Amino acid sequence: MLASVRSAVLVGVDAHPVHVEVHVASHGLPAYNLVGLPDAAVREARERVRAAILSSGLEWPQRRITVNLAPSGLRKTGAGLDLPAALGVLAANGALPETVLEGVGVIGELGLDGSIRSVPGTLVLVDALRQAGATSVLIPMGNAAEAALVGGVRILPCRSLAETRACLKDESPWPDPPSQPAEPTATTPHTPDAPVVELGDVRGLPGARRALEVAVAGGHHLLLVGPPGAGKTLLAQCLPSILPPLTDDEALEVTKIHSAAGHPVGGALLRSRPFRAPHHTASAAALVGGGSGRPRPGEATLAHRGALFLDELGEFTPRVLDALRQPLEERVVRISRQHSALTFPADFLLVASTNPCPCGLGPPGCTCNEALRARYRRRLSGPLVDRFDLRVAVGTAPPDAALGPPSAEVAARVAQAVTRQRARYRNAAWRRNAAVPAGALLSGIPLSEEVDRILSEAARRRQWSGRGLAGVRRVARTLADLDDTDDVTVGHVLLAAGMREDVLA
């Protein structure tokens, strides 16, 4: 007897539909063979499937069972194929009418007692099944809320193998899906335990604050340079409080990525932008993705449409940092494997902090000689530093400095500037000032004759590269957007120039 069950597996941050074919031979020695590039978790399914069927009071056929995972060229990972295999065995053995599985996608991990456990990546898996033509999907109860985010497909929640079999045979009604997502507050795409600080609680530092606001409003990468304790990290931790909310399309995109990465998503799309703050001991695989086995999204992808904060940039391994250069340029991560090439989205705002020199003090109190400073500077490759359009020396705030404006006020200005940019670039392929390509700069960000002349003079005086000049032009546009004006003034241009200082020299 033969049965075929539709399912899906994760490939990077996407899902791929898979057919689980089960054949129970009418004769031959009892055996269970699994073919079709399974990984360890899928291979171990055999023991779980057998125990679950027996614990559910069903018969395990003492025959030769062959399970094939098609397409056979695709590497199958994860335990989500347990339930399809079990239902396939039941159907092939006659314990389940085969017709009830037509047009039904199945996802779920089995416990030895026949219970059905949650799996990561439900959102992407169900979406892949829907696109492959499934009209209903069997989903572990714990994932039902997340699966319901995918419209156009009926979600059938499952608690145990026996119950699911009974429901499929119409012997009992389907259980109700959980009405409310358990913990909607836990569903922020942030690094776990990353503290979120309110800008209104930070004293002084007007220049660094402005740089943070500009970075968020226009999407310009920001490098904060300053002595220890000046407030670089504190400022960066304010980022989540001023990032504009995700649009509907972006929310779906980000939620899918975090679902595929195995983060609990709950019953609602993520609405706040990701804020990721990996530790400086992070490996290249942790930062940009990849790794052994199934290539996993790295922090760069988890920060997609949000912010990636690298504290103590100079402490990161140089090789790891240089791996960021390509995603910074192309806004995607390309992972090449012997058998496959994957693309992870990685459009993030990079915010980094570093001390100015080994003694950490920076001017005017610094006692490091030039050779020491040069050695310290070499930890960050020039091309990487060149990617930062905003490089700001964070001064030290006197203890009596005034508290700054609250996050809500800044967030409102940012939102307004974002709206201005969306309106201006509505017919273009980009949405933010930082993304205006070099070729479209003159027409995309026009300057008056006088302002253009002063920008060229400033560029000549500072010996900027072409990229430097383009960066300042984009930042000046963002400053004007934050001022809610169409005209880029001399003040905007020179302020932008002042935010691209050679702070590490």
Partner 1 sequence: MNGDLSTDRALAARGSPGLARTMARRGTRMLLASDPDFPISDDLPQRPGRLFMEGDRPEVLRAPRVAIVGTRAATPHGLADARALGAFLAGAGVSVVSGLAIGIDGAAHHGALAAAGVRGDDPAGPIGVVATGLDIVYPRRHATLFERVRRHGVLLGEHSFGVPPGRARFPVRNRIIAALGDVVVVVEATSKGGSRITADRALDYGRPVFAMPGSRRNPAAAGCNALIADGAQPLLDPSDILLALGMTQGVRRGWSNPTPKRSMTSAAVLVHRALAGEPAHPDELAVRTGLPPGELAVAVEDLVDAGFAERSRGFVWPT
Residues that bind partner 1 (CB under 8 A): 204-208, 210, 225, 356, 362-372, 391-393, 395-397, 458, 461, 479, 489-492, 494-495, 497-498, 501-505
Minimum CB–partner distance for residue 488 and partner 1 (Å): 11
DSSP H helix total and E strand total for the chain: 21, 18
Minimum CB–partner distance for residue 75 and partner 1 (Å): 50
Question: 203 or 325, CB closer to partner 1?
Answer: 203
Distances (CA, A) of 493 to 218, 245, 455: 15, 28, 6
Q: Cα–Cα distance between 311 and 299 in angstroms, integer?
A: 14
Q: Cα–Cα distance between 216 and 310 in angstroms, integer?
A: 15
- Sequence-distant (6+) residues with CB within 8 A of 491 are none
Question: 168 or 504, CB closer to partner 1?
Answer: 504
Minimum CB–partner distance for residue 372 and partner 1 (Å): 8
- Sequence-distant (6+) residues with CB within 8 A of 61 are 24, 30, 89, 92, 93
Cβ contact 390:349 at 8 Å: no
Minimum CB–partner distance for residue 500 and partner 1 (Å): 11
Minimum CB–partner distance for residue 285 and partner 1 (Å): 34
Minimum CB–partner distance for residue 502 and partner 1 (Å): 7
Question: 30 or 491, CB closer to partner 1?
Answer: 491
Question: 195 or 498, CB closer to partner 1?
Answer: 498
Helix (H) or strand (E) holding 336: strand 332-336
Coil, strand or helix at 156: strand
Question: 72 or 465, CB closer to partner 1?
Answer: 465
Question: 286 or 366, CB closer to partner 1?
Answer: 366
Coil, strand or helix at 26: coil
Instruction: List, edge to edge, every strand of the sheet that includes 136-140.
Output: 31-35, 64-70, 14-24, 2-11, 104-106, 136-140, 154-158
Question: 11 or 235, CB closer to partner 1?
Answer: 235
In one letter, which amino acid is 128? A
| Segments in 262-399 forming alpha helices (H) | 284-288, 299-302, 318-322, 325-330, 370-377, 382-386
Question: 59 or 502, CB closer to partner 1?
Answer: 502
Minimum CB–partner distance for residue 409 and partner 1 (Å): 16
- Distance from the Cα of residue 359 to its chain's centroid: 36
Minimum CB–partner distance for residue 354 and partner 1 (Å): 12
What is the separation, in whole angstroms, between the first and last Cα of the chain?
75
